[in-house]
Chains A and B, each alone.
Chain A
Amino acid sequence: MSGQDPALLRRLLRAKDRMEAASHEDWPISRLARVSGVSEAHFARSFRDAFGLPPHRYLLTRRIERAAALLRDSDLSVTEIAFQTGWNSLGTFGRTFRDVTGESPGALRARQQAASHQLDRAPHCFVSAAHRPDLNIAVSEKRRREADANTSGSEETEVP
């Protein structure tokens, strides 16, 4: 959506930058609104208009991106990675990770470590951003659609 004041956009960008820099921290709307100098009532809508997704979904993509990078590049356990990237529960981390990326943290680690990396020559930060999940719907919506797809799929097989 266009038509936003560039000065406001620049301040919203600051909130996005701060979430990116410290995605393991808690980012309640009140904190984000303060960074941007916007009222809490307007922050979420303004952020979504500017960047195409709600602030907390952006934070989620960033956490998943970091977790995926740590799975690929470190020897930390999945539990350690979950807590380092901002989850309070290993179960929630595993479920959300699978819902967003389509595979479990362990499966992604095994696949990534087996593959050779074509992107080794690009600066790490850009490579990392390229691997950020493109989460254009809410995780709950994604789950619902996948459940529907499974249901309709099984129905189809029953119809001759």
Chain B
Amino acid sequence: MSQGVGVVGLYVRDQDEAIEFYVGKLGFRVHTDARNGDYRWLTVQHPEQPSFQLGLFAPQPPTVDAATAQTLREIVAKGAMPPLVLVVDDCRAAHEDMSANGVEFTQEPVERYGAVDASFRDPSGNGWKLIQGR
């Protein structure tokens, strides 16, 4: 067992929609999908990164109160959550595939400083940078 970060979570507005996006469009796999009443612990995994899970969590009671959940949904929808980075071997090819799958790009691939990057958002508003590894 190696040490390190195991799960980092995002807030999403709808967990079914998030699976459709992260699994259906980006190619992640569901790692854990466990329900307990209204609560749903949902994590996905990049196929090449078995030691890390990305949590797709709904801001909802009882983990937060209803008013806080509403505030969190607003913050996510405004694109105000911290940046996320997805590293790929070929940014332009990934952009082409993902666009064909209906991913909403907010910046087309640009080459700068010897690397290529693009930007996209998930349906909830979380912003991802797509960066070609060097």
Instruction: Give A residues with C-beta under 8 Å from B.
Output: 2, 4, 6-7, 9-10, 12-14, 16-18, 20-21, 50-51, 73, 123-126
Contact = CB atoms under 8 A, between A and B. Distances in A.
B12 to A, nearest CB: 11
9 contacts: A6-B13, A6-B77, A10-B77, A10-B125, A13-B78, A13-B125, A17-B79, A21-B108, A125-B129
Dominant SS among interface residues on chain A: helix
A17 B79 CA distance: 9
Nearest to B13: A6
Interface residues of B, number: 25
B18 interface: no
Nearest to A51: B78
Given A18-B106, A125-B117, 7 more contacts: A2-B70, A6-B73, A10-B123, A12-B78, A17-B106, A21-B107, A123-B131
A13 B107 contact: no
Contact of A123 (B78, B104, B117, B125): B117
Contacts, number: 54
Nearest to A20: B106
B84 to A, nearest CB: 11
A10 B83 CA distance: 17
Given A17-B106, A21-B106, A123-B85, A7 B77 contact: yes
Contact of B83 (A14, A21, A126): A126
B79 A13 contact: yes
A6 B76 contact: yes
B129 A9 contact: no
Interface in B78-125: 78-79, 83, 85, 104, 106-108, 112-113, 117, 119, 121, 123-125
Contacts of A124: 112-113, 117
B32 interface: no
Nearest to A73: B112
A10 B13 CA distance: 11
A123 B129 contact: yes
B74 interface: yes
A152 B78 CA distance: 41
B103 to A, nearest CB: 13
Contacts of A13: 77-79, 121, 125
